[in-house]
Amino acid sequence: DIFRLAEALGAPIISDISSNITNHENVISFYDHFIDNINPDMIFRFGKKPISKKINQLINQNQSSTYLIRKRAVFNDDANNIISTVDQLLDNLSSSFCKDKNWLEIFKKNQIKIENSISENLEKDRINEYNFAFNLLEFIPEKSNIFIGNSLMIRSFDSYSKRPEKKLSFFSNRGASGIDGNISTALGIAKASNETSFLIIGDQSFMHDVSALQLLKDNQSNLVIFIINNFGGGIFDYLDISKTVDFKDTYEKFIRCSHTVNFKSIVSSYGIRYKRLNSISDLSLITEKGPMIYEILIDGD
């Protein structure tokens, strides 16, 4: 239905990383970097509210011309206009509606421009959350499951990864956006699937579910874990309060929860294979067979 509507309207598809809507020529990547310069006539939504704050701002600014396509209202969604089906929508569109071929091209040109800019400006081999998200999917085999943890990592992949042409299945624990149980959830996905599964998780989320490593070991699950360790809750560095000098010590201790721990000893104590990745080049060395844990140590600054 999404592809049918996009083709009928000549419209770009803004594809949230968790949506699994990837393999279509109208799907746009890197939109988070230019969407605040876009002025749409209409917005058609499918599914839950997106991850991107900029997309949500765009929706809020265009509430009267935004339509949620689903059969009934949802208690935690503030959509004003709800349309049951795509067929109903297409029937109601004016017969005089005319595609603007330039509209989709604007998005595609922006996509190429941003991809080139990211490629040129991210440090080529020094690894961080953003060039990890930009490069990783190239090294993930077809049909893999990819579970992306909350906070900074899901946002990094939403903003910095190109929507893949190969078939990959993305998962995340959204909603309340808690950090509990992410390893356990990924283990469940790996158990239920015959395909290789990958988990990308931050250090805070990893610590909150570290006991699940016993299940990983006991079941010899085909799960490969990447721990993105920026030594605390890096997402909170985007808050203004993190820059308040008088509050700095309290912020670091109680909000960012800064620490100096790496997880080699913890992982090894469970008898699980461990390797530290030091550069983007190291991604070419990753295995498809779990249980395996990779840790990436990132300078939070």
Supply the pLDDT for residue 75. 67
For residue range 181-199, what is the model confidence (pLDDT) as tens digits? 999 999 999 999 989 999 9
Supply the pLDDT for residue 170. 95
> Is residue 243 within 8 Å of 249, Cβ to Cβ?
no
**Residue 141 pLDDT exceeds 80:** yes
CA distance 164 to 218: 33
Comparing C-alpha atoms, which of 216, 158, 147, 214 is closest to residue 182?
Answer: 147
Mean pLDDT of 43-56: 92
Comparing C-alpha atoms, which of 211, 159, 9, 18 is closest to residue 99?
Answer: 9
For residue range 215-224, what is the model confidence (pLDDT) as tens digits? 999 998 899 9
**Residue 175 pLDDT exceeds 70:** no
Q: Average pLDDT of the chain?
A: 88
For residue range 111-129, what is the model confidence (pLDDT) as tens digits? 999 999 999 888 778 889 9
Supply the pLDDT for residue 275. 96
**Residue 296 pLDDT exceeds 80:** yes
Q: What percent of the chain has pLDDT over 90?
A: 57
Supply the pLDDT for residue 256. 72
163-168 long-range contacts, CB within 8 A, separation 24+: 163/15, 163/17, 163/21, 163/22, 163/27, 163/28, 163/29, 164/22, 164/23, 164/137, 165/22, 165/23, 166/142, 167/23, 167/142, 167/143, 168/22, 168/137, 168/140, 168/142, 168/143, 168/144
Mean pLDDT of 6-34: 93
pLDDT band at 40 (very low <50, low <70, confident <90, very high): very high
Q: Which residue has the higher pLDDT, 249 or 57?
A: 57
Comparing C-alpha atoms, which of 224, 216, 157, 171 is closest to residue 197?
Answer: 224
**Residue 96 pLDDT exceeds 60:** no
> Is residue 276 within 8 Å of 283, Cβ to Cβ?
no
Mean pLDDT of 275-298: 92
